[in-house]
Structures are given as C-alpha cells and as structure tokens.
Amino acid sequence: RDMINTSKHSNSSDRPFSYAAVCLHGIVSIFGILENLLILWVIGFRVRRTVISVWIINLAASDLLATISLPFFTHFLARGGTWTLGTTFCKIHSSMFFLNMFVSGFLLSVISLDRCLVVIYPVWSQNHRDVRLATQVCIGIWILAVINTIPYYVFRDTIERNDGRIMCYYNYAQYRSPEQEVDTLCGMSKFLLSFFIPLLVIIGSYMAVSSSITRRGRKRTYRFFRLVVAVIITFILCWIPYHIFSLLEAATHYYPSLHHSVSLALPLVSSLAFINSVVNPFLYVFSCPDFLAKIRQSLSAVMESVLMEDTDFQHRRSTTRSSVSTSELL
C-alpha cells in the first residue's frame, strides 16, 4: 500500500519489468549518492560560506539521506517484493524517506521567504541576514522534521502477509490505535505539513517578489532566483503524485474499490519522489555556471594531488633503488 508495502507477486511475464526496475533503482541510487556527496564536498569545502550556500548544503544533505535509503528499496524489489532486512532497517528506511520529505518542504518554504525578504526589504536583509541566522533556522527545520517523522518511525513494523511475503508497513495494532483514524491523520499531516502549506508559502512569496520587481521596474535576473524556481517546480512535479495517492490510500478505508489502483500506483509515485533527490544536483550545476566551474576546479585539484602523490612515490622509489644499486656496487 505505501511506498514499499504493497505489490503483486511477479509472474513470469512481470519478471523483465522487475529486473529493469531493480537495475534502474540501483543505478539511480548509486548516482544520487555520489552526486549529492560531490555537492556537499564542493559547497562545504570549496565555496565561501554564505546564506545561499547554507540553504544548498542542507538541501543536499536531505537529498543524500533519501538517496542513501534508496538501496533498501532496491533490495526490496530485488527480493521479489518482500522485506528481509528486519524491523530496525524497516524503521530507518521509512524514517529517512519521510525526513527528507519534511526537510525539503520546510526548507523550500524558508528559502522562498528569504528571497522575498531580500527583494522587498533589502536594507533589513543587509543588516540581519547572515550565515549564523541561516544555520539556526536550518537547525530548527531539522528538529521540526524529526518531530514530524517520529510517528512514522514508531508505527513502522515488519508484517508477514498471508502469501508469505514480509511487508514494511504501518502496524497500528501493536499500539492499539484505531487504524482508519491514524492512517487518515498521517496521510493528511504529510500532505498539509510537507506539501500544501509549503506550497502556499512558496506561491505567496514569489507573488510578492514578482509584484515588487514589477513595481520597481527591475529588469535584473538573479541566478539563484532561477535556481530556486527550478528546484521548486521539480519538487512539485516529483512529490504531488505521491501525496495524491497517499491521500487516496487513506481513503481506501472508506472506498475499498480504490485499493487495487492505489496499490499499483504507490510504488511508482514513491520512486518518482526519490528521483527528486537525484535531479536537484543537476539543477545546482546547470542553473549556476560558476558552480560547475567550482566542481571542475575541485576535481582537477583532487586529481592533481593524487597524481602528485603518485609521482612523489615513484620518485622516492626510484631514488631508493638508485641508492641500493650504488651501495651494491660499492
């Protein structure tokens, strides 16, 4: 039913699709982890710390969490739709997914508000907007996201189905919680807190920014503004299908006829949500040409260092051999 919980048994005709899905998830997982690590390394160590870099570092850290959890989902698919990693990894995997979801929504809201303040109140922003404040805001965002993720950690459990498969899903019975009410509450809270309310904040902020720019007759285009718009559009496109089917999942308690369609769709829309964390690093690079140059410089510096060390090693080795040969001759 949820992202890793309900899938039909694969028959022989489904196997090519299953193999393709496993390979695709594996490639996306590896690629996503590497590129988000690269973004964190470049911004963390090769770029001067600014408010903008603080936002991007935290977005990349959140995306890294999601891509790190993706191998668990890939393993689930590879095992034929059964969870074999135990209850602890079930809870961790789900928590990382939802933590990324909440952090992304909260952070994009804050970034939009930040852009709004910079454009509408430039003097105030100049005096009060600094790296320390941005870091404190990000810490607050992570704390709020962790608090909102706790229910998904608590209720997740491994459940054996009648067909023998083990599912990583919500187990409300162990806490004697009413399933329909809690499932509906979780679905609504996910939608409102991580998507709908952030979306309202984002739309309101950029309407205010657009109005201010038009009123003042500004023609200048800000690179970071373009980047934020691209990230937000990608966030909406990747997450809105998941939230729609998550709400429909809660509605299956009242409309059982929806169950089959939702069961088939949720794994697909969850994969689309994961892809958001893989696409973001591309947006950072292509929206900011300077950032691409920084990556090239950083990679060149690393290769230079490696090659230099290798050259030094070869030189020392050659010198040692020369000394040994000389001593033997003497």
- Model confidence over 119-132: pLDDT tens digits? 889 898 889 899 99
pLDDT at 85 over 50: yes
- Mean pLDDT over 239-263 rounds to 86
Burial class (CB in 10 A: 0-12, 13-18, 19+), 199: buried
Alpha-carbon distance of 214 to 193, in angstroms, equals 31
User: Can you give the residue ranges of every domain in the chain?
Assistant: 16-292
The set of residues, in sequence order, having a beta carbon less than 8 Å from that of 209 and lying 6+ positions away, is 115, 116, 119, 120, 225
Mean pLDDT of the 203-211 span = 87
pLDDT band for 327, please (50, 70, 90 cuts). very low
Mean pLDDT of 212-218: 74
- 285-299 mean pLDDT: 60
Q: What's the fold here for domain 16-292?
A: Rhopdopsin 7-helix transmembrane proteins (1.20.1070)
Question: CA angle 176-178-180, nearest 5°?
Answer: 150
Q: Higher pLDDT residue, 20 or 136?
A: 136
pLDDT of residue 11: 43
pLDDT at residue number 103:
96
Q: Is the pLDDT of residue 215 over 90?
A: no
HEC string of the chain equals CCCCCCCCCCCCCCHHHHHHHHHHHHHHHHHHHHHHHHHHHHHHHCCCCCHHHHHHHHHHHHHHHHHHHHHHHHHHHHCCCCCCCHHHHHHHHHHHHHHHHHHHHHHHHHHHHHHHHHHHCHHHHHHHCCHHHHHHHHHHHHHHHHHHHHHHHHHEEEEECCCCCEEEEECCHHHCCCHHHHHHHHHHHHHHHHHHHHHHHHHHHHHHHHHHHHHHCCCCCCHHHHHHHHHHHHHHHHHHHHHHHHHHHHHCCCCHHHHHHHHHHHHHHHHHHHHHHHHHHHHHHHHCHHHHHHHHHHHHHHHHHHHHHHHHHHHHHHHHHHHHHHHHHC
pLDDT tens column, 227-237: 788 888 888 99
Average pLDDT, the chain: 79
Type of residue numbered 330: L
66-80, 205-219, 309-323: which has the minimum mean pLDDT? Answer: 309-323
Cβ neighbours around 193 below 10 Å, total: 17
Q: Is 163 exposed, middle or buried (0-12, 13-18, 19+ CB in 10 A)?
A: exposed
**Per-residue pLDDT reduced to its tens digit, 14-54:** 454 467 777 878 888 888 899 899 888 888 887 788 898 89
User: From CA 66, how far away is CA 149, in angstroms rounded?
Assistant: 13
Q: Is the pLDDT of residue 140 over 90?
A: yes
